[in-house]
C-alpha cells in the first residue's frame, strides 16, 4: 500500500515537470503574427514586397507618341495660288528638268491635272528658252517611240505646236515624216495652230512655205496654208494667192486649201500683196471677188484706202460686190469710216452708180444693226 502511493506521487511529479517544461518553451518562442511587437516593426504601407508584375510596381513614364508628318497633298487638291507657285518654280528649271517633271507627274504621282499644266509650262519654256539639238532629238525620239503612251506623245506634239518656234515647227515636220504610226504623223503634220495670234512671226513662214510647196499630204499643206495666212508674211500670202487663183491648174485640192486659208488672214502685214493683186481688176473678176473681201476684213487703213480707191477708179458697175463688202462688216470701224467718207461729194467716182451703191448698202447695214440692238 505504501509502495503504491509512492508510485502515484512520482508519476504526478513527472507530469508536473513536463507541464512546466512545455510552458517555459511556449514563453520563449516567436510571438504571434498579430502581436503588438510584430506590428510595431512592419512598414506602414505594405507588409511584403509586391510581386514583380504588380500594378504597384514603379514604371518609367511612357514616351509621347511621335508626330506623324502630313503626307504631301496632290497637286489637283491645291488651290490656284499654290498650283501657280509650283508651276512658277518649275518654269525656272531647264528644259530637260521640266520634261522630266512632266513625265513624273503622270507616271510617279499619277496626277493628270499636274501633267497637263506642266505640258503648258513646257510649251512656254520651249518658246522662251534655247532648245539644244540634243534636247530636241530627245523629244523626237520619245514621240516617235511607239512604246511610249500615245497620251503623253500627243501632249508633247501639242506643246511643240503651242511653242511655235522655228525649231519646234521644224521638229514637227520631221516627226510627221518619220513617226511609225499614221496617227502620230497626222497629229504632227497638223500645223494650223502654229500661226495662232501671230506666234513665231516671220521666222515660221519659210518653214511653212516649204511644207506648202513640197508636201503632197492634204492635211499637211492645208494646215501649213492656214498658219501662213495667220502669220501674214507677204511671201506666204503671195504663194496662197497664186494657188487660189490658179483655176486652170490640176491641183484643185491645193487651190481650195489656199482659198480657205485666205479667209483667215487678219494681220496688216498681208495688205501689200493683196492690194497689188486688186489693182486694175474689174469688179466681176475672180481676183476682185477673192481679194477685196480679205482687205475689208483686215480693216487696215492702207487696205481700206486701196479698196475705196479701186471702186472710185473703175468705170464698171460694182453694185453687187459693193453690197457684199459693206454688208459683211463685222468689226471694221476703219472701213466703215471709209464707206462714210465715200459719200462726200468732193470725192470723185468714175461711175456714180458705185457711190449710190455704197449709200444704199450703208443704209441697209445700219438698218440691220438697228434691229439687232
Helix and strand counts by DSSP (H, E) for the chain: 19, 0
The full DSSP string for 257-290 is HHHHHHTT---GGGHHHHHHHHTT--TTSHHHHH
Average pLDDT over residues 242-267: 94
Q: What is the pLDDT of residues 162-194, one digit of tens each?
A: 999 999 999 999 999 999 999 999 999 999 888
Residue 64 confidence class, pLDDT cut points 50, 70, 90: low
Q: What is the pLDDT of residues 79-110, one digit of tens each?
A: 999 999 999 999 999 999 999 999 999 999 99
First to last CA, the chain: 165
Q: How many CB atoms are closer than 10 A to CB 141?
A: 10
User: Which pLDDT value is given to residue 57?
Assistant: 47
Distance (Å, whole) CA 237 – CA 8: 161
Q: At what angle do helices 112-128 and 80-91 cross, to 10 degrees?
A: 40
Q: Which of 5-14, 268-277, 329-338 has the lowest mean pLDDT?
A: 5-14
Which whole-number Å values give the CA distances from 144 to 2, 100, 179, 276, 320, in the listed order? 145, 17, 5, 44, 53
Residue 25 confidence class, pLDDT cut points 50, 70, 90: low
User: Which pLDDT value is given to residue 43?
Assistant: 39
Quote the mean pLDDT of the chain: 85
Query: How many CA atoms are closer than 13 Å to the CA of 80, on its beta-carbon side?
Result: 0
51's grid cell: 510581386
Which among 127, 188, 204 is positioned nearest to 156, based on CA atoms? 188
Residue 197 confidence class, pLDDT cut points 50, 70, 90: low
Q: Which residues contact 7 (CB under 8 A, 6 or more apart)?
A: none
Distance (Å, whole) CA 84 – CA 130: 23
Q: Per the confidence metrics, is the pTM higher than 0.85?
A: no
Q: Are 338 and 305 spatial neighbours (Cβ–Cβ below 8 Å)?
A: yes
Amino acid at each position: 500500500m505504501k509502495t503504491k502511493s509512492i508510485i502515484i506521487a512520482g508519476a504526478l511529479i513527472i507530469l508536473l515537470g513536463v507541464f512546466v517544461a512545455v510552458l517555459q518553451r511556449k514563453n520563449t518562442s516567436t510571438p504571434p503574427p498579430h502581436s503588438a511587437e510584430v506590428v510595431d516593426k512592419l512598414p506602414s504601407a505594405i507588409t511584403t514586397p509586391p510581386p514583380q508584375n504588380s500594378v504597384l510596381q514603379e514604371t518609367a513614364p511612357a514616351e509621347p507618341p511621335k508626330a506623324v508628318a502630313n503626307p504631301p497633298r496632290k497637286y489637283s487638291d491645291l488651290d490656284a495660288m499654290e498650283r501657280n507657285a509650283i508651276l512658277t518654280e518649275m518654269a525656272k528649271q531647264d528644259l530637260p528638268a521640266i520634261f522630266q517633271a512632266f513625265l513624273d507627274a503622270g507616271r510617279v504621282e499619277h496626277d493628270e491635272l499636274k501633267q497637263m499644266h506642266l505640258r503648258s509650262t513646257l510649251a512656254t519654256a520651249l518658246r522662251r528658252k534655247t532648245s539644244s539639238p540634243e534636247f530636241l532629238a530627245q523629244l523626237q525620239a520619245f514621240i516617235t517611240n511607239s512604246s511610249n503612251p500615245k497620251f503623253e506623245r500627243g501632249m508633247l506634239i501639242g506643246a511643240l505646236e503651242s511653242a511655235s518656234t522655228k525649231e519646234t515647227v521644224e521638229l514637227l515636220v520631221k516627226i510627221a515624216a518619220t513617226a511609225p504610226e499614221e496617227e502620230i504623223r497626222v497629229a504632227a503634220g497638223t500645223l494650223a495652230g502654229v500661226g495662232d495670234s501671230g506666234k513665231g512671226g516671220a521666222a515660221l513662214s519659210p518653214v511653212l512655205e516649204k511644207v506648202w510647196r513640197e508636201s503632197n499630204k492634204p492635211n499637211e499643206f492645208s494646215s501649213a496654208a492656214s498658219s501662213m495666212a495667220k502669220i501674214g508674211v507677204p511671201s506666204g500670202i503671195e504663194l496662197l494667192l497664186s494657188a487660189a487663183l490658179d483655176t486652170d491648174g490640176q491641183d484643185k485640192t491645193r487651190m481650195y486649201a489656199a482659198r480657205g486659208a485666205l479667209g483667215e488672214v487678219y494681220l496688216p502685214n498681208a495688205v501689200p500683196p493683196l492690194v497689188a493683186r486688186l489693182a486694175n481688176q474689174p469688179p466681176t473678176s475672180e481676183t476682185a471677188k477673192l481679194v477685196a473681201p480679205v482687205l475689208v476684213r483686215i480693216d487696215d487703213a492702207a487696205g481700206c484706202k486701196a479698196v475705196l480707191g479701186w471702186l472710185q477708179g473703175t468705170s464698171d458697175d460694182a453694185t453687187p460686190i459693193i453690197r457684199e463688202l459693206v454688208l459683211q462688216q463685222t468689226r471694221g470701224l476703219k472701213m466703215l469710216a471709209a464707206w462714210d467718207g465715200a459719200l462726200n461729194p468732193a470725192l470723185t467716182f468714175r461711175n456714180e452708180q458705185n457711190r449710190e451703191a455704197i449709200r444704199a448698202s450703208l443704209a441697209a447695214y445700219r438698218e440691220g444693226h438697228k434691229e439687232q440692238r
